[in-house]
Amino acid sequence: MKTRAAFIRQAPGEYEVGEVELEEPRQNELLIKMSAAGLCHSDDHVATGDIPAGVYPMIGGHEGAGVVAGVGPNTPGFADGDKIVFSFLPSCGRCRWCASGMQNLCDLGAGLLSGGRPDDPTSFRNSMDGKPVGQMCGLGTFADYTIVSVDNAVKVDDDVPLDKAVLTGCGVGTGWGSAVNSAQVYPGDTVIVMGVGGIGINAVQGAAHAGASNIIAVDPVAFKREKAMELGATHTAETIQEGR
């Protein structure tokens, strides 16, 4: 089949919308009709070349949610109509890291930027003029349809709104986790969040949840600072110098 997608032909470059060929899903893969995709700054890094892609063209987008429209052969646990939120980090559930509760370090993450399948960076499901087209993080969520590995697919209940749940695919996990897990914020702590965009605003919420007493959100954009105050910040500053 064909699908519409936004891709980068070269870096630095700009996203271009066009038609790409899409194969059938293979074993342990799902065809997904996209419902929602988030725009993360990492997608812009792919366009500028700050994050190099393994192959060009590369379909952008790694935060996404949609509905199963096709299931590969011998792929139990999924059916047409299932609602799915993607995890941009794959998790196989079997490697040493997955088995010890550290799915963020799953061996499959090694091929994240290859643009190919998580388990085979030389294998692609999209093509244009007979040449392979990559999918960012094996997902390529800037498309009407995409094929993903079940290792990136999290099934959610039917009543979960996908336009909200999509944000857990990158921004919420990264931001919240940076405050709660990486920084290990404790009650009473003072936290500075530099930049309260998609990631930072979730770090603000994570820090508030962890009980920080002072949460200082630094961002040059007034709107971002206003939102930060609504979502848990106690103070804001336009620049780090102003906060001193």
Ligand X SMILES: NC(=O)c1ccc[n+]([C@@H]2O[C@H](COP(=O)([O-])OP(=O)(O)OC[C@H]3O[C@@H](n4cnc5c(N)ncnc54)[C@H](O)[C@@H]3O)[C@@H](O)[C@H]2O)c1
Under the binding rule (CB under 6 A), the answer on residue 196 touching ligand X is yes
SS3 call for 203: helix
Asked if 106 touches Zn ion (CB under 5 A), the answer is yes
CB of 197 to Zn ion, least distance (A): 11
Of 146-185, binders to ligand X (CB under 6 A) are 170, 174
The residues facing 65 across adjacent strands are: 36, 85
**Closest distance between ligand X and the C-beta of residue 177, in Å?**
8
CB atoms within 10 A of CB 113: 19
Counting contacts by CB under 5 A, is residue 95 touching Zn ion? yes
In the bound state with Zn ion, the residue whose beta carbon lies nearer, of 86 and 145, is 86
Where are the extended beta strands (E) located within the chain? Answer: 2-8, 16-22, 29-38, 58-59, 63-71, 83-86, 126-128, 131-135, 145-149, 153-156, 190-194, 214-218, 235-237
By the rule CB under 6 A, 194 interacts with ligand X: yes
Q: Which of helix, strand or coil describes residue 67?
A: strand
If binding is defined by CB under 5 A, does position 136 make contact with Zn ion? no
For the question of residue 213 being annotated catalytic, the response is no
Are 65 and 166 spatial neighbours (Cβ–Cβ below 8 Å)?
yes
Find the catalytic residue in 106, 137, 170, 178: 170
* 197 lines the binding site for ligand X (CB under 6 A): yes
Which stretches of the chain bind ligand X, using CB under 6 A? 40-42, 45, 170, 174, 194-200, 218-221, 224
